[in-house]
Structure formats: structure tokens, C-alpha cells
Structure 1
Amino acid sequence: MSADRGWGEAMRVHQWARWAPAPAGLVVGALALGPALGPGFVLRYDMVFVPDPPVTWPVGGFPRAVPSDLVVALLAHVMPALALQKLILIGIFVLAGCGAAALVPGDRLVPRLAAAVFYAWNAYLAQRLLLGQWALLLGFAGLPWAVRAAARGGPWRLALALVPAAVGGFQAMLVSALAVLPVAATRPSRRLRGVLEALAVLGTLSLPWAVPALLSQAATDPAGVDAFAARADGPFGTLGSLVSLGGIWNAEAEVPGQAAWPLATARLLLAAVAVVTFVRLPWTRDRAGETTDDGGVGTPFWRGLLIAAAVGLAIASTGAYAPGVLKAMIGFWPGFGPLRDGQLYVAPLVLVQAIGFGVFAGRCSRPSPRGGRAAVVVPGVVAVLVPLLVLPAFAWGASGRLAAVEYPDEWRRVQAIVNRDPRPGALISLPWGAHRAFAWNGGRVILDPATKSFARRVIWNDALVVGLGRRGSLRLRGEDFLGRRIGMVITARNGPLTQVLRAAGIRYVLITGRNENRFRSRLPGAVPAFVGNEVLLLRL
């Protein structure tokens, strides 16, 4: 009976270890998002969800929101867009935590929980979330599952694991490819077949964004290397920030207080311990004295993931330490443009550290013959909480930087007017700038919502101005050919614009903010279709 009782208890512990990462990811996600889970939309930088998004296929510049915007628009016919956004955001944390836990060798609860919490609560995820890059984070959340599938082999298994990245688009797929290909190339058997299968799956799932990217007339400015290069966001320089999983180019994406010496030091030490533990995995023996290497049977992804982490760190460092190399590559072929934002390729290193930390936490909480239950539970709880303690201000929407707001009724009315109009013609959004900071959104900077709201082509200024601190600012030319041509007309003179815009096939002019008088005087003959406090819609 005692043997049966022991076996039953072991099975319950095994089940807990298998399923506990899901609720852990849910709790961590709720703690991180905080007010963002309230009524309304979360609008920050690239994260622009709109009510009743139209089903459209973007044209013009580089297809950055393909196919993510289309998937959101289709799903918004099933549930409200604001509920869909919250489901996606909380799902990122759950999927990420469960995936990291599934890669930890063994079936003990503490190591799996520690890895889950680490992968769902770190500077990389926090900074990318504050930059609004939810589509990239879909790929980040699915990365452990893609690594697991690549190590096991099988095209259908890998295709299913890559669905989140495929929805996320080009950044998510590139990050996934960085990890999947080395893992497939270094797995124990059928390596060539695994690489060919991985290439076929990655290529097929990339077609939705790759084809329009190749057909577009989008231009990539090599000067963007200076704007998007990784930067120091702590006291240990750029490399120290990258190893600590930070280093994003936008200072507004920093978690409050993350640069403080005590926290930055703790994160760097934690990163070192996690990496060393992961590197030593093939030579680590379990309690029975058997080697856990697949070499290793326990971690068939070990070599490939380590290679991916090293390559990703090298890419991230190139923009900061050898920018001329990237500029030359982009000048030779614009397709190298995605390498400008090198810090996003640190994602495999995040997974390496999560697994390494999980294994280390398991060792710290391993039961001993002399210790009681407390000797296991207390160290285990502390280990699981460590990732939260070294980045505490990520809690509650990064100390309030994330929040949910409602769109003003004016936006919904303008959207309805334009989308009900059967007449063809594009819409141009003014003032001529890529981003907006509305008072109703708490002054948070967001990409112009007009780009997502209308069932017709939207002409907008996709040029980007990046502040360089004491070095002033850097202006990157827009990628959309038509937008660049119309922008030159708007900014080069102060005369009438009506005939020029009509000739370019534009039917509507949307003016937001307090700029209506300045632009309306340049649009003689335009008919007001809607006049509000902050929104003016003119029909040409």
C-alpha cells in the first residue's frame, strides 16, 4: 500500500509539474499587464488596435503588419476587437511560460515553474511590450515550441509550432528561423532532412509577408542602423545590457528603474548563472548518475539553441560596435534591413537563460535526506520569484505605462463615414507625421490609428524621426514610394493642395489634433464630411 501511495503521489507531482506553468503564466501576465486588462484598448507605439478593423491587405511600404492585421480583422468578426487584444496579450505570457517549462529536463515542479516565470518576465519581453510589438512577441512566445518541434523532427509538428510566429509576421519569423535552423542542423539524427524540412516550413509560412515585401517599392535607409542599434540601458554598457536581455534602441521602452545599480547588477549575475548552467547541461548528471545529455538524450536542442543565442548576440552587437558592416550590407541589398533592429535577435538567449535558470533553481531546491518539506518549498518559492524581484517595476503595466482607453466617439463616426462610402479613392492622414500623442490616450505615443481604421488605402508619413540625445535627431526617409512623393509636395510649399491630392487619387483628408486651420486653408473646394473637436474629415 505504501508503494502504491508513493507512486500515486509521484504521479500527482508529475501532473502538477506539467500543468502548473499555465496558471503561472496567467498570473504573471495579469501582474505585468495590470490596468491594460481594463475596459478599452491598449495603445502604445506599434500596438494599435482599433474598433471594427476592416479586412484589408496593406500596400505601399514594407509589409510590417502582414498578416497580423488581417488575422486580427478576421477574428474581430467573432469577438470584439478590445477583447481580442487582451486575449492575445495574456496569451503571450501563458504560451511563453508553458513553452519554456516544456524544455526543462526532468519532470520536477520547481525547475519548470522557474523557467516559465523567467521566460515570461524579463527585460526583453517588457521592452518589446512597451514598444508595442505584440506581433513579434507572438513569435517570442512560440519560440520554445518551435525549438522543441525542430529537435523532434517532422514538418507538420514544426508548422503547428510556428503558427504564432507566422501570424506575427516578418520579425517573429526571422527570430524563429534563427533558432529553428541550428536546432534542426544539430539534432541527433537525420540532420540534413531536418534542415530541409525546416527551410520548407519557414519559407512557406513566410510567403504572406515575403511576397509583398519583394513586390513592394519599399526603400530601406542605411542610416537606420544608427537609429536602431542596441544601446546601453544600464551601468554595464551595451554588451552588459544585451546579456541582461535589455538594450533596446528606444529609451521610452525602458522599464522604470531598470538602470539602477542594484537591479542591473542582479540581472547581470542572474544571466551569468543561467548561461553557465545551460552550457554545462551536457556534462550534468542527474540523481541516478545518468547523463542527461542527448549527446545527450535529455536536451537534443542544446547545441543548436546555444549556437542561435551566440549568433543572435553577435547580430545585436553589430549595430552598436560595427555599424559600417550593416550599412554596407543594407546598401548592397535592402533585404538586410531587418537586421538594423538587432536587439530583437537576443530572443534565443532569453530562452537559453530561462532553461538554465530553471535547472539552477531545481538544484537549489533539491530535497536532501536531512531536510524536511520546508527545505524544498522555501528555496523553490524564492527561486521562482527571483525574475520578478530583479525587474519589479514591470508590474502593473510597467508602473502605469500600459493602460486601456476608449476611442472617442468622433473616431468611430469618421470610421463609419469613410468605410460606408462605395466611391474609390485613398485617404491621407494629417498632420504629416507617423506618430500621434492624444490627450485621450494619456499622451502616450502611438502609430497613427488611421493606418488601421479604414477600408481603403491610407497615405501617411512613414518616415521616422529618432532622437539621438545630445547628438540631435536622425530622420529616416519613408519606405512607401507614394507617401514620399506626396510628402515632398506637402512640405515643400505652402500653396493649395487640392488638385495635387485629387490627381494622386485621394478622396478623403483626415486631420487630427488642433491643426485644422493650418491645413484647411490649403484645401480649397474640399467638402467637410465630419467636423469634431479633434477630428476633421474633408472630402475632395
Structure 2
Amino acid sequence: MPRWSTRGLPSTERPPARSLPPAWRSRAAAAAPALLGLVLGALALGPALGPGFVLRYDMVFVPDPPVVLAGQGFPRAVPSDLVVALLAAVLPAQAVQKAILLGIFVLAASGAAALVPSGGLGPRLAAAAFYAWNAYLAQRLLLGQWALLLGVAGLPWAVRAVVRGGRLRLALALVPAAVGGFQAMLVSALTVLAVAAALPAGAPAAGDPAVGPAGGTPAPGTRARPRSPWAARLRRVGETAAVLGVLSLPWMVPALLSGATTDPAGVDAFAARADGPLGVAGSLLGLGGIWNAHAVVPGQESWWSAGVRLLLAAVAVWGFVRLRGAVPYRTGLAAAAGAGLGVALLGVLAPGALKALIGWWPGFGPLRDGQLHLAPLVLLQALGLAGAVRLLAPRGAGTAGTAGATGATGATGATGAAGTVGAAGVAAAVAVAVPVLVLPTFALGAFGRLEAVDYPDEWRHVQRIVNTDPAGGALVSLPWGAHRAFAWNGGRVVLDPATKLFARRVVWNDELLVGTPGGGRIRVASEDPLAREAGEALRGEPSGRAAALARLGVRYVLEQSSDNTLQGGVTVFAGRELRLIRLS
């Protein structure tokens, strides 16, 4: 067979370049945001994906977690701990943790891309990259709040479900937030209720029989009937609130029955703080401003980082304002973002008012950590960046993924299509790279701040002793403080793992000491009534502490081997790090 060469042939006589079929290109474009989220997640987590568990602040995963219901105190880990325990009954617990952490990035990126009104690949990837790589997500991850981030990752899908209509669709979209618990549901409620209230008056109410379950066309056999626009809007908001309420029951009921209290001093402890030279407001607009200085990404406090993040925020807001086309969620999302920013500033500008609210009703306690309510602003900026890319990219670049689908005839058409695709590729690459370059030190586990380690064998040994004991009674964890810093965990601060390790009530000191920029400390009182009683017993005479704890229903005390808090009881295990004492 002769070999043919196209060299020297006119461009109109050259055979057309091979390309993927249109259906394959469409599937690849649809999967690109999720794949991008997976890549960004692997880059951000880095050493955290190695063998073992990632233990940092609130992120506490343990081997073989027991399937237990919430104890006393405010149910902050409900139902997230139960879901993790159920999954760990099928898969290794460390694999469950890594799947959840990677899933946050994938869910966030794909959801933000799905909300972009333009079908172009470049703007969709811009939204995906920004929503999966920003200061808010980085800081909350370094604080260990993976359960909150589940809800934040699912937030775009929840907004999309409200717009499309349907109670079942909304319930499914809110499953990540429901698993995450109260913080995840609060930021989701703030956003979806605002979107539901601000949808255009002609938009269908979720589940309205006159428009069908999906909220699009009349259901078969029904007749569209006139309905007051305000009545339809009120019904939509009511049904959205009902779905939120039902999915909140797993944590709301234990919270109402717990008897937990909220210390107004937490307003000063958890108020937003400046994490750079632009003050609190500048930090919040750049999606930072978290209260814990150890949750700040390395280098984030520099002028360069703060300035570039604020500039990117300005471009994103401009792009959101300029969004065109069918964007029914725009008004509602803008209102939610403004409200979230207002809550974040409340603890700084009007701490007295917030303290009064918490003193009147502890249910206002979640407003203390105002920075976490920036989640809708994060989504607004992600979608705004997509709009800015569409406006600023070369003409035709915003429709990457559709260019060339119908083919080009002639040299001019082929060259034009190639130029469009090339410009689109450059625009998409820049859009993806910008969020990463703005916050480069989030990579590789924030330069080692997130790393997987394994528990020493004695932790598993103590766990087996306690969990195989059929006798009832609680376990008190000592030393009497909420957090630990183990040498085998690289000295990283983490919530006491004993709180998750045992299949019985664990009593621990949930009182917090939070440092202030001036070097002082703010004490936030314990929320658990039983913990307060145990604290009183431990402040008594050493010879009477064991008996006082036993009267409270305590069977075991777990303490550091170097401690000598108790006198009495039977030592059933003594290792290099841990000692387990049985009181009854």
C-alpha cells in the first residue's frame, strides 16, 4: 500500500484531523470538573493520603469506631460520627476518612461547575477550581472541620435543587449537609432559604401538582391553575424549610434534650480575626478571617497573599454582578452571601448584642463562630469568577467543549475552530491555575500540617478492654482538658481521641481556653452538665476523687502514664503512654 504524505498539499485537500466523537467530547467535558476536584484534592491533601489517620483539631478518626448514639452535651458530631462508624464496619476506618476528604473536593468542584449558567468548559472549570481551592476551605480543613465542609461541598447541588424544584431532589442534595450535622445544615439553610425566597415569582414551587414534581411542566392529568405569586413563593419557602427541618432532626433532637448551655464568652473567643494586613473585613472578603491562628495557611498573612486574594474577590464579585442569562439563584445567593458576611462581622462590630442573644437563648450559640457563615460568599465568588472568565476570555473561548462539534469546511473554518479551541484551552488553564497560584501553600497538606499517622498499639489494646466489658458505666478521660498533642502525631493539636474510641459514655472536659492576639486567654465554659460535675469531683481531695467519680456512674478512668490524678481503683492496663483504671 502506498504511503501518502500531506506535505505540500493545499489545506483544502488535506484529510480532516481526527477528533473524538461529539458524544465522547460531551461526556469528557461533563466529567472534567469532578476530575479536576479529585486532582486538587490529591494535591491539597498530599501526605494525608498515606497510611494511617489524619488527626488535627476537630478531625478525629479512630480505628474500629463504635456504633453509638450521641451522649450528653451539644451534639456537634451528630450524625457524622455514627455514619463514619457504619461505613467503618465495611471498610477500614482510615480508608473511610480518605474517601470523605477526597469526596469533599470532588463534590465541591462538580457542584460549582453545575451551577455555572454558561455551558463553556472554561468558566465551569474556573468555578470548580475556585470552590475547591480557597482560603475558607483551607482554614476549615486545617481546623479539622470535615463535617462542615461536607455541607459546604454539597451547597451548590442544594441551590441547584431549589431552582429545579422537587422535595425529593432537595432532600438528596442536602444529604452531605445532613451527614455533617448542625454547622453544615446551618450554612445550607441560610443559602437555600434565601434562594427559595428570592426565586422569580413565576418559578414553580417545589412539588406543586400544577407543575409536576420536577417543577417544569404540568403533571399528566392536571390542569395548571392560577396561583398568587406570593403564595407560590411562600409555599416554596415552607417546603424548603420542612425538608431542612426533617434532615436536621438527628442533631436537633439531641441538642434540645442535652441540657447543654452556651457561654457568651465564646463570642470573644470565636469572633473573626484578621489573618493578614488588611484587617478583619479584608480578611473576610478574601474568605479568611478564622479565629484560630493555627488554622491559617502558611504565608497567608503576607501583603502579597492578602492583596491578591482581595483583588480576586473583587473580580469575582464583578463577574457575578455581570452574570447574564437565566440565573434564577442570583438574587437569593447574593442575599445569603451578604447575610453570612454580616454574621461574620457581628462578633467584631457588635459583640455585646450577640452575647445578649446567647444569654437569652443558647440556640444563638452557633453565631459565635461567624466566619463559618461565609460559605455562600465562597460560592458567589466561585460563580462570579466563572462569569469573569466568560467576559474576559477571547471571544469564543467560553464555549470550549462545543467548538468544532459540527466540523469545519475549508481552510478558514478549520483554522478558526482550531484557534477557538486553542484560546479556550488557554483560558481554561489560566482559570484553573489562578486559585492555586493565589494560595499555593495549601498544597501538600499545607506543607505538612496535614499528615497521616497510626495509633500506637496500646490505644487499640485499651479500646478492646473497655469495649468488651459488658458492665455499664462511663469513662473519664484525663488529663482534664479537651485537646492533646502527641509526639507520635508530630505534636499536632487534636481533640482527645478517647472521645471517639469507646462504646460507652466518655466524660471529657469540653471547656475551652482560647488565646487572644494580645497574649491573654478566654475561658469558654463547659457545655456538658456531667462534665461539670466530673470537674468538681476532680478538684476535690486526691484521696476522694475515685469515690466521687464512681458515684457519678464512672467505671473507667483513662489517663496518661505520667499522671497521678487518682488514688484508688484497679489498674487494668499500664503502658508507656496510657494507664486504664477501673473504679467499679
TM-score by length of 2: 0.86
- Matched residue, 1:308: 336
> Alignment partner of 2:274: what SS?
coil
- Matched residue, 2:48: 36
In structure 2, distance between residues paired with 1:481 and 1:163: 31
Q: How big is the shift at 1:154? A: 1.1
Superposed, which structure 2 residues align to 1:376-525 within 5 Å? 376-512=424-560, 514-515=562-563, 518-519=564-565, 522-524=566-568
Q: How big is the shift at 1:9? A: 6.5
Task: Select the residue among 148, 155, 165 that pairs with 2:160.
Answer: 148
Q: What amino acid maps onto 2:359 in structure 1?
A: G
In structure 2, distance between residues paired with 1:239 and 1:475: 25
- Matched residue, 1:249: 291
In structure 1, distance between residues paired with 2:459 and 2:380: 44
Please say if residues 61 and 217 of structure 1, whose CA atoms lie closer than 8 Å, have aligned partners that are also in contact.
yes
Q: How big is the shift at 1:523? A: 2.1
Q: How big is the shift at 1:492? A: 4.7
- Matched residue, 1:289: none
State yes or no: 1:354 paired with 2:387: no
- Matched residue, 2:13: none
State yes or no: 1:99 paired with 2:101: no
In structure 2, distance between residues paired with 1:6 and 1:237: 55
Q: What amino acid maps onto 1:318 in structure 2?
A: L
In structure 2, distance between residues paired with 1:527 and 1:494: 16
Task: Select the residue among 147, 159, 184 that pairs with 1:172.
Answer: 184
Q: What amino acid maps onto 1:319 in structure 2?
A: G
Please say if residues 364 and 379 of structure 1, whose CA atoms lie closer than 8 Å, have aligned partners that are also in contact.
no
Please say if residues 529 and 538 of structure 1, whose CA atoms lie closer than 8 Å, have aligned partners that are also in contact.
yes
Q: What amino acid maps onto 2:272 in structure 1?
A: A
In structure 2, distance between residues paired with 1:379 and 1:202: 39
In structure 2, distance between residues paired with 1:5 and 1:378: 20
In structure 2, distance between residues paired with 1:390 and 1:469: 26
- Matched residue, 1:532: 575
Larger Rg: 2
Q: What amino acid maps onto 2:233 in structure 1?
A: R
Residues 158 and 349 (structure 1), Cα distance of their counterparts in 2 relative to 1, 3 Å cut:
same
Q: How big is the shift at 1:163? A: 0.2
In structure 2, distance between residues paired with 1:52 and 1:266: 44
> Alignment partner of 1:529: what SS?
strand
Residues 268 and 126 (structure 1), Cα distance of their counterparts in 2 relative to 1, 3 Å cut:
same
Q: What amino acid maps onto 2:278 in structure 1?
A: F
In structure 1, distance between residues paired with 2:514 and 2:540: 22
> Alignment partner of 1:126: what SS?
helix
- Matched residue, 2:345: 317
Q: What amino acid maps onto 1:532 in structure 2?
A: G
In structure 1, distance between residues paired with 2:348 and 2:490: 33
State yes or no: 1:363 paired with 2:406: no
- Matched residue, 2:308: 266
In structure 1, distance between residues paired with 2:27 and 2:476: 56
> Alignment partner of 1:469: what SS?
coil
- Structure 1 runs, 4 residues or longer, greater than 2 Å off: 4-17, 362-380, 491-496
- Matched residue, 2:149: 137
What per-residue deviation string (whole Å, max 9, x for no partner) do you get for residues 57-87 of structure 1? 1211100000000111111111010000000
In structure 2, distance between residues paired with 1:309 and 1:372: 35
User: Which range moves more in the overlay, 220-229 or 369-378?
Assistant: 369-378
Residues 357 and 9 (structure 1), Cα distance of their counterparts in 2 relative to 1, 3 Å cut:
farther
Please say if residues 125 and 428 of structure 2, whose CA atoms lie closer than 8 Å, have aligned partners that are also in contact.
no
In structure 2, distance between residues paired with 1:243 and 1:396: 25
- Matched residue, 1:222: 264
Q: How big is the shift at 1:375? A: 3.3
Q: How big is the shift at 1:513? A: 5.5
What per-residue deviation string (whole Å, max 9, x for no partner) do you get for residues 257-283 of structure 1? 0111112111100001101110222xx
Q: How big is the shift at 1:316? A: 0.4
In structure 2, distance between residues paired with 1:209 and 1:73: 16
> Alignment partner of 1:470: what SS?
coil
Q: What amino acid maps onto 1:479 in structure 2?
A: E
Q: What amino acid maps onto 1:99 in structure 2?
A: G
Please say if residues 66 and 85 of structure 2, whose CA atoms lie closer than 8 Å, have aligned partners that are also in contact.
yes
Please say if residues 17 and 112 of structure 1, whose CA atoms lie closer than 8 Å, have aligned partners that are also in contact.
no
User: Which range moves more in the overlay, 17-26 or 167-176?
Assistant: 17-26
Task: Select the residue among 92, 97, 108 that pairs with 1:85.
Answer: 97
- Matched residue, 1:112: 124
What per-residue deviation string (whole Å, max 9, x for no partner) do you get for residues 140-165 of structure 1? 00000001111111111100000000
Q: What amino acid maps onto 2:580 in structure 1?
A: L
Q: What amino acid maps onto 2:366 in structure 1?
A: P
Q: What amino acid maps onto 2:360 in structure 1?
A: F
Q: What amino acid maps onto 1:496 in structure 2?
A: G
In structure 1, distance between residues paired with 2:126 and 2:377: 16
Task: Select the residue among 75, 83, 92 that pairs with 1:71.
Answer: 83
Q: How big is the shift at 1:11? A: 5.3
Residues 194 and 366 (structure 1), Cα distance of their counterparts in 2 relative to 1, 3 Å cut:
farther
Q: How big is the shift at 1:15? A: 3.3
Please say if residues 16 and 109 of structure 1, whose CA atoms lie closer than 8 Å, have aligned partners that are also in contact.
no
- Matched residue, 1:204: 246
Residues 143 and 244 (structure 1), Cα distance of their counterparts in 2 relative to 1, 3 Å cut:
same
In structure 1, distance between residues paired with 2:328 and 2:26: 21
Q: How big is the shift at 1:320? A: 1.1
Please say if residues 365 and 377 of structure 1, whose CA atoms lie closer than 8 Å, have aligned partners that are also in contact.
no
Q: How big is the shift at 1:5? A: 11
Please say if residues 256 and 393 of structure 1, whose CA atoms lie closer than 8 Å, have aligned partners that are also in contact.
yes
Please say if residues 49 and 85 of structure 1, whose CA atoms lie closer than 8 Å, have aligned partners that are also in contact.
yes
User: Which range moves more in the overlay, 362-371 or 103-112?
Assistant: 362-371
In structure 1, distance between residues paired with 2:317 and 2:21: 33
Task: Select the residue among 199, 212, 229 that pairs with 1:187.
Answer: 199
Q: What amino acid maps onto 1:195 in structure 2?
A: V
In structure 1, distance between residues paired with 2:240 and 2:81: 25
In structure 2, distance between residues paired with 1:199 and 1:7: 48
Number of residue-to-residue matches in the alignment = 519
Please say if residues 125 and 431 of structure 2, whose CA atoms lie closer than 8 Å, have aligned partners that are also in contact.
no
Residues 493 and 474 (structure 1), Cα distance of their counterparts in 2 relative to 1, 3 Å cut:
farther
Q: How big is the shift at 1:10? A: 6.0
Q: How big is the shift at 1:8? A: 8.2
Task: State the identity as a percent.
Answer: 65
Q: How big is the shift at 1:12? A: 5.0
Residues 7 and 257 (structure 1), Cα distance of their counterparts in 2 relative to 1, 3 Å cut:
closer
Q: How big is the shift at 1:496? A: 2.9
Unaligned stretches of 5+ residues in structure 1: 285-291, 293-297
Residues 89 and 327 (structure 1), Cα distance of their counterparts in 2 relative to 1, 3 Å cut:
same
In structure 2, distance between residues paired with 1:343 and 1:252: 15
Two-structure CA RMSD over aligned residues (Å):
1.8
